[in-house]
Amino acid sequence: MRHVDFGNRHSILPNIGGMDISAPALRYFVAVADELHFARAADRLHITPPTLSQQIARLELAIGGRLFERTPRAVALTPLGEELLPLAREAVRSHEAVLAWASRAATHPAALRVGVVAGGGGGGLTSEILAALVARLPEVPLQLVRLGFFDVGPAVREGGVDVALTLAPVGPSKDLSVQELLSEPRVLVVREDSPLAGRASIRIDETNNLAFVVPSGAAGEGLAWWLVDPRPDGTRPRVVAVADDVEGLLELCAAGIGVNIATSSAFREQSRAGLALVEIVDVEPARVVLVRSERPRHGAVAAFERIAIDVASAFGRGAGYADHST
């Protein structure tokens, strides 16, 4: 009799001698090992005894040794069968777990995790997109995930969310797709009694001597873009305070501690009293974007992107925003 070394116990469905050992074959083996009686095992498996004997013979041929000693009076495991039994039980349990998981997945699809950023701009665009998603794809569960402004790239890249709606820039990445949906002007958020509060518009160089408040954790190219750092004349804006969220930023502005650059829609969504907006006329507008992985994990991401583009196109025309969807 040839000795079989099963080696790594996690290799529970080996290919021996060029033959696959299937999960059903191992289930038949376990049933016979439990019953030590072919007729009872066949009844348990809802197959005939000759069919069961044939399946066990094929398994023994694949392994290259006998698994049972059979006499007219008894059935017993051979040493090779004793060695296989714990591995076979593990394989059967694992296979049954996979089948149970597949059944759950088929009847309860995974939720589409949509990341959104408070104060992300668009003036209600996010709500319109989510409403359209539910209307067009009612079978797709939705999970809304709140993200920090500078957390979008890592969240999509690392799988924390399947897709996100935010304001650009997100930061360069070869593994992310960034689809522009809308653009809107950037505004300066100031205290309502500021000398600038009564202005209809302002140039960026008129803010060179002001103090700015920014989100905590903001750094690099994203922060530089929002602050226009450096300014055309080389001036570097001065940051005096940070806040954990949009509400905190507006509180700092209302207290007169500093000013912030945002979008008018983000300001309206927060509806904070004591503040005024002044449009900055000579800087690039803010862009509302959809961010997803180049290789989406969830099957509904492509449909969500199409819905977002359709909604943004109609929304932009109705609200007077520039529509950049294609």
pTM of the model: 0.61
Contacts 24+ apart (CB under 8 A), 44-53: 52/28
**Could you tell me the domains of the chain?**
15-107 (1.10.10.10), 112-184+286-323 (3.40.190.10), 186-280 (3.40.190.10)
- CA-CA-CA-CA dihedral for 192, 196, 201, 204, to nearest 10: -120
User: Which stretches of 168-300 are DSSP H helices?
Assistant: 220-227, 246-254, 264-270
Q: How far apart are CA 304 and CA 198, in angstroms?
A: 41
DSSP 3-state helix, strand, coil percentages of the chain (rounded to 5)?
A: 40, 25, 35
Backbone Cα Rg of the chain: 32
End-to-end CA distance of the chain: 69
Each residue's pLDDT tens digit in the chain (326 positions)? 344 443 333 333 444 444 578 889 999 999 999 999 999 999 999 899 999 999 999 999 989 899 999 988 899 999 999 999 999 999 999 988 888 777 766 666 688 999 988 666 656 888 899 999 999 999 888 999 988 777 888 899 888 999 999 887 776 667 899 999 988 889 999 999 999 998 999 999 999 999 999 988 777 788 898 899 999 999 999 999 999 888 888 899 999 999 999 887 776 666 678 899 999 999 999 889 999 999 888 889 999 999 999 999 888 654 445 555 54
Q: What are phi and psi of 25, to 5 degrees?
A: -60, -40
